[in-house]
Amino acid sequence: MTNQDLIKTLSIQTPSKIVLLVIDGLGGLPNPETGKTELETAKKPNLDKLAAGGICGLSDLVSPGITPGSAPGHLGIFGYDPVACNIGRGALEAVGIDFDLRPGDVAARGNFCTVDEAGRVTDRRAGRIPTERCAELCKLLDGQVIDNVKIFVQPVQDYRFIAVFRGDGLSPALNDTDSQHEGVPPLTVNALSPEAKHAAEVANKFIARAKTILANQRPANMVLLRGFSERPTFPSMSEIYKLKPAAIAAYPMYRGLARLVGMEVVKTGSRIKDEFATLAERYAEYDFVFLHIKPADSAGEDGDFERKVAVIEELDSLIPQLTRLEPDVIVVTGDHSTPALLKGHSWHPVPVLISGKYCRTDKVTQFGESACLGGGLGRISATQIMPLAMANALKLNKFGA
């Protein structure tokens, strides 16, 4: 029995409420000048207060040394084995833009790119064309039918789009056409298993048509496809935890992830304060709310230590709007570290705090990497966060007689 199966047998519905606040890319590395991480540098009296009253620790999202992408990071926090539940990039992008991805569909992530007369890729991102232009180009390609397979082409952001193939007998066992290099032509799609032969033929025909259709466009005159994949099927959070869960997330990918685990996605605005306003408005309707804060990660990705600090401070100022709702349990954590020093996701474990009436409080009084090291949760796997949140909300029965 997996731990998730165990939790499913023990979970009960109660009126108690849990709020899970995920600060994307929360963990960091010390600024060499001060010895303090982004989180340790930020003035965040409200998060520190939650840490002081709660129980803290550090979480490995996948396992020590592994740098998680956003999807495995979130699935871990939601209590799903992030390796067993790995989602393909195409499927993830599709659900992330609210595309109704169905069982049997094969989704790919696409880039508009630039090729020269010889067909060699000269710019994998077509000069990073704006989303509006991407949408216009997608319209040129959308809705074709090739060998009884309908192909949906929809814009994501900038030069990125999704291509979804819908028809009988498709398989996602296909290689990327994006070689990740410039100066060479896109790769041909090959079937990586016998069942994928039909899908490979259709994909190659689609790409050939796209080349013709885009021939006179500049700079986006070709497409690259990668991450062919299907919609995964996971047990929903309602099934596992008997929760009625909602997701508040300004960024599409996180809404998509939330939908895959059966959360209801609540409409919100693009700013952190919009998300907190939505939380207050919709809080009464749910017993579990996942609130996703993106800009800390973006700042880390840009290597902007100070901006990441500022995002955390902005978020902290809104925490009273959360605590005022008096959830039974508040969890604050991140889906991975994004140290400004590394300008990208990293493997470093992420601070986690659980605040609730029945926590066995530890001596941690600051929400930071070093402080959490001495916390009462110790170093846990992210998949243990939901069981702990459920337990603290008194939503898990005793196991065994």
Query: Which residues bind to a copy of itself, rule: CB under 8 A?
Result: 1, 3, 6-7, 10, 29-30, 37, 58, 62-73, 82-84, 86-89, 92-93, 227, 341-342, 344-348, 358, 360-363, 369-370, 373-374, 376-380, 384, 386-391, 396-401
In eight-state DSSP terms, residue 116 is -
**Which residue(s) pair with 151 in the sheet?**
144, 165
CB 156 → a copy of itself: shortest distance, Å? 12
CB 349 → a copy of itself: shortest distance, Å? 8
Decide whether 157 or 361 has the Cβ nearer to a copy of itself: 361
Decide whether 88 or 155 has the Cβ nearer to a copy of itself: 88
User: 291, 131 in Cβ contact below 8 A?
Assistant: no
Which tokens go with 141?
A: 């390609």
CB 137 → a copy of itself: shortest distance, Å? 23
Distance in angstroms (rounded) separating the CA atoms of residues 337 and 287: 28
Count the Cβ atoms, other than its own, within 10 Å of residue 207.
20
Decide whether 67 or 204 has the Cβ nearer to a copy of itself: 67
Distance in angstroms (rounded) separating the CA atoms of residues 339 and 37: 8
Decide whether 273 or 363 has the Cβ nearer to a copy of itself: 363
Inter-helix orientation angle 252-260/89-96, to 10° = 100
Q: Are strands 55-60 and 378-381 parallel, antiparallel or unpaired?
A: parallel
CB 69 → a copy of itself: shortest distance, Å? 4
Decide whether 320 or 358 has the Cβ nearer to a copy of itself: 358
CB 400 → a copy of itself: shortest distance, Å? 4
Inter-helix orientation angle 70-78/385-392, to 10° = 30
Q: Which secondary-structure segment (H or E) carries 55?
A: strand 55-60
Decide whether 323 or 370 has the Cβ nearer to a copy of itself: 370
CB 219 → a copy of itself: shortest distance, Å? 25
